[in-house]
Chains A and B, each alone.
Chain A
Amino acid sequence: MWRKRIAAIAGTVTLALIVSLSAQEPQKVSAQEPRVIDITAKKFAFAPSSITLKKGETVTLRIRSEDVTHGFFSRQLKIDETIEPGKTEEVTVTPQTAGTFTTICDHFCGAGHGNMSMTIVVE
């Protein structure tokens, strides 16, 4: 009796694992997952200072601050994030227009704040 139940449970677990693995499989092979670009904010610059995206490409920008709270803002790309120290913020963008766009820190962070910006080139 117990052996039958254990066998049944084992079969269920095995099946669940197979289902689980097969469910993950499409994600593993997915080429549509957005490219991730890491960006660091630190008084008074973003690194890298410039990135290049492709028009129509969905990209995740993963931004973290190494010191104080910063902003990450672009009116044209509709980005408006606050980056608190110790936390990582992700912004997914799919630019539809080619051009050169400026993203600024819009959270006042000190004397050099006014020139803290980075360039996003969309080709």
Chain B
Amino acid sequence: MKELDRRSFLRIAGTSIGVGALYKVLPAAAMTGTSGEMLRELGKKNGEKVTPFTFVQMSDTHVGFNGAPNPTGTKAFEAAVATVNSLPQAPDLVLFTGDLTHDSEDKDEHAARMKHFHQIAGTIKAGKIVYVPGEHDAGLDGGALFRDHFGETHYSFDHRGVHFVGLDNVTRAKPEVGKEQIAWLEQDLARFPKTAPIVVFTHRPLFDLKPEWEWFTSDGDDVMNILQRYDNVTVLYGHIHRDDEHEENHIKHFGARSLIFSFPDPQKSAMKKPMPFDKDHPFQNLGIRSLDVRGTNVQPHEVELTMREFSGMNGIHQMLKEQSL
């Protein structure tokens, strides 16, 4: 860890003890100029001036999962909600990037899990909460249950001058977006100048992160061919249950930690097998991401959960473990 990073890390860790979260500041997602003139110009073209705000990404809560990798069920999800609710200022948005629920072949049981998810997510203090499905939400029924609860599986909206696009790469059962949705995306983005800040949120990675673990989207290249026409694109995704950074054709991709269990580093592990549950550090490698928007710059911060029960020396040791970042 570089000295500057260490100082930032310790300062942030120190302030986070009380709220049960650990922050890691990542490199900026987009480093283009943020001059007033440029932002004014963007505002004219987008119809809305870019003004600073903060939003949060949560992913892979798998409500209904019950197994050895995490016998605590929804506790991490609830801790994440408490963390967000303890922020000094509520985030403008919370984006959920799929696998809100763990699937069940019993439709009533799956619906009950969706309802349970709603009960927990409904306590989040945020301006707006939006969702895209994961394959565990929508892979078995083509997204029917998801649509009943959340509406369409892909859509877009503008917020304070940033264009957000929710992409669906799960409801066709295979890891793909599909020609129809790709055509929609191209049309959706057509009105924006190439400098417009765009945040895409989806479930699976749009690039070949690890195809042997189904960490890819088969037509992700077609999506990327459209996105790379724009200068300031950030892609947020879930599915891989670990944080990951990837840059390709000036587009930054950020994989999110889950709120149920973590997967190992695919470069170091031959097996796609959840990391075993550690009762002394039950939320290790679980967490959320907070993102600050300043002009066209989207700055992500990793937030690792810790347990209030570990607020003494154990908790401090746990939080200061560099490898846990």
A80 pairs with B214, CB closer than 8 A:
no
Contact status B140-A110, CB under 8 Å = yes
CA distance A33 to B102 in the complex (A): 45
User: Beta-carbon contacts of A28-53 to B below 8 Å, as 1s and 0s?
Assistant: 00000000000000000000000000
Q: Say whether, besides A108-B135, A108-B140, A110-B140, A117 and B102 are in contact (CB < 8 Å).
A: no
Q: A76-B211, A108-B173, A111-B103 given; name 18 further pairs at CB < 8 Å.
A: A74-B211, A75-B211, A80-B218, A82-B174, A104-B211, A104-B213, A104-B214, A106-B174, A106-B218, A107-B173, A107-B174, A108-B135, A108-B140, A110-B140, A111-B102, A113-B135, A113-B139, A114-B272
Give Cα A32 to B173, complex, Å: 37
Q: Taking CB as reference atom, which chain A residue is nearest B271?
A: A115
- Within the complex, the shortest CB–CB distance from B34 to chain A, in Å, comes to 39
Whether the Cβ atoms of A108 and B170 lie closer than 8 Å is yes
Q: Write 6 A-B pairs (CB below 8 A) sorted by A numbering.
A: A69-B173, A74-B212, A75-B216, A104-B214, A107-B173, A111-B136
Candidate in A75, A102, A108, A117 with the most chain B CB atoms within 10 angstroms: A108
Q: Smallest CB–CB gap between B251 and chain A, Å?
A: 21
How long is the Cα–Cα vector from A76 to B212 in the complex, in angstroms? 9
Alpha-carbon distance A22/B255, docked complex (angstroms)? 62
Question: Min CB distance, B182 to chain A, in Å?
Answer: 18
With an 8 A cutoff between CB atoms, is A71 at the interface? yes
Chain B residue numbers with a CB within 8 Å of A73 are: 211
